[in-house]
Amino acid sequence: MALAAATSTTPLPHLRSTAATVPISAFPTALSHLSTSTKKPISITCSSTALQTSPPASATDRVFNFAAGPAVLPENVLLKAESELYNWRGSGMSVMEMSHRGKEFLSIIQKAESDLRSLLNISSEYTVLFLQGGATTQFAAVPLNLCKPDDIVDYVVTGSWGDKALKEASKYCNPKSIWSGKSEKYTKIPSFDALEQIPRAKYLHICANETIHGVEFKNYPKPASENEVLVADMSSNFCSKPVDVSKFGLIYAGAQKNVGPSGVTIAIIRSDLIGNAQPNTPVMLDYKIHADNNSLYNTPPCYGIYMCGLVFEDLVAQGGLSEVEKKNVKKAGILYDAIDGSKGFYRCPVEKSVRSLMNVPFTLAKSELEAEFVKEAAKEKMVQLKGHRSVGGMRASIYNAMPLAGVEKLVAFMKDFQARHDA
């Protein structure tokens, strides 16, 4: 079935170089037969070829990218970056060439932080850090900064990433899994009243949205004691909806799901929690060092931060996260309705009340058709629909930047595929 292609704005023309003829002097052609006689240099010329660039992309060149991360970025953000790639706003250089301590980049990172604070209504009591290493690095940084080696901490494990965070923390403190959904294949989130929190725990850790299993917290547990803080890995639903930051001691997120390219991690931490790192904490994992240096202790992922800034600017222009959430709810509703209305041909294993707005896993009743589904979808320019290798099936990641047209096209394909294979 031929389906409508993705729409796109025509990008700016590409720069092209001009061919030139350059004279050079040749080296002796046979170094193994050197003689004492003087040889006259041989003058030759070669014509350099013009820089080959691809023709401007058209609407049909873009695919609908359902990857879990690195993931789809807003087209207008990509086109803005393209227009500024060679010469950022008259500076005479690319962002990738700038000194991270120069006035140009300082304006970029400061604007990015300002827009993020506006989007999430982050108060002055919190420090915003732009870090490296992905959220996985924070699995170690969190315990190293928030507790001592003998301290107990609580972990709620609702999927693979929560489990990985727990295992990494065991190297640096005494984590306790107070609930795990592993036995039910990570399809649920527990009742908060049922959580047996440890009274003297330093923090309570959750993964707000499990990218692999498609389980999302719709609200958040409250730590059992005043001295315990809530910590959340929000990598795959960061800035997809409003969040009351004041309920958390620390929020961290890898940017490559929703707000930027890979290579950037964002941490929002209550400032009074900074400065208590364990003595053996590596410099690059110490929040105080990064806070004292305004995320510029060493050369940060400058271009990634610049791209995050463009995304934040775009989210502000859309009307903020309340408007973004409405769009995400609509997209997810269309897709889940198609799955639930397929009379069992498609199945989503996640409990309906905690289904993710960002990552939608589903299977086929006839599992032998799943590979064909992914292959045919790719031919229709819908890519990265194969499920994570640990769970199989399919997964459609429909982050902020996935347009409604992408979800509508996927649903149309799903209905057509079912009509052709549901005997």
Q: Which of 163, 233, 286, 314 is catalytic?
A: 233
Q: Which of 161, 179, 314, 381 is catalytic?
A: 161
Whole-angstrom distance, CA of residue 370 vs CA of residue 212:
17
73-80: average pLDDT? 97
The pLDDT, as a whole number, for residue 298 is 97
Whole-angstrom distance, CA of residue 98 vs CA of residue 79:
20
Of residues 28 and 415, more confidently modeled: 415
Tokens linked to 78: 């990509």
The pLDDT, as a whole number, for residue 57 is 57
CB–CB of 327/404 below 8 Å? yes
The pLDDT, as a whole number, for residue 235 is 97
Q: Is residue 323 pLDDT above 60, yes or no? A: yes
CB–CB of 210/216 below 8 Å? yes
**192 burial via Cβ count (<10 Å: 0-12, 13-18, 19+):** middle
Q: Is 251 left (phi over 0), alpha (psi -120 to 50) or beta?
A: beta
144-171 pLDDT per residue, tens: 999 999 999 999 999 999 999 999 999 9
Q: Please give the C-alpha separations between residue 118 and each of 72, 106, 235, 299, 353, in angstroms, as whole numbers.
A: 23, 18, 19, 26, 29
Whole-prediction pTM: 0.86
Residue 233 known to be catalytic: yes
- Count of other CB atoms within 10 angstroms of residue 368: 7
The pLDDT, as a whole number, for residue 274 is 98
341-376 pLDDT per residue, tens: 999 999 999 999 999 999 999 999 999 999 999 999
231-249: average pLDDT? 98
91-102: average pLDDT? 97
Tokens linked to 212: 């692999």
Residue type for 227, please? N
HEC string of 228-286 equals: CEEEEECCCCCCCCCCCHHHCCEEEEEHHHCCCCCCCEEEEEEHHHCCCCCCCCCHHHC
Residue 257 known to be catalytic: yes
The phi, psi pair for 290, rounded to 5°, reads: -70, -35
Q: Which of 88, 115, 154, 257 is catalytic?
A: 257
219-239: average pLDDT? 95
10-42 pLDDT per residue, tens: 343 433 333 333 333 333 333 333 334 444 444
Tell me the average pLDDT of the chain.
Answer: 89
423 — pLDDT class (breaks 50, 70, 90): confident
The pLDDT, as a whole number, for residue 96 is 97
The pLDDT, as a whole number, for residue 56 is 58
Tokens linked to 4: 């409508």
Q: Please give the C-alpha separations between residue 254 and each of 239, 264, 275, 286, 317, in angstroms, as whole numbers.
A: 12, 6, 22, 17, 22
> What stretches of 109-226 adopt beta strand conformation (E)?
126-131, 152-157, 174-180, 203-207, 209-210, 215-216
The pLDDT, as a whole number, for residue 55 is 54
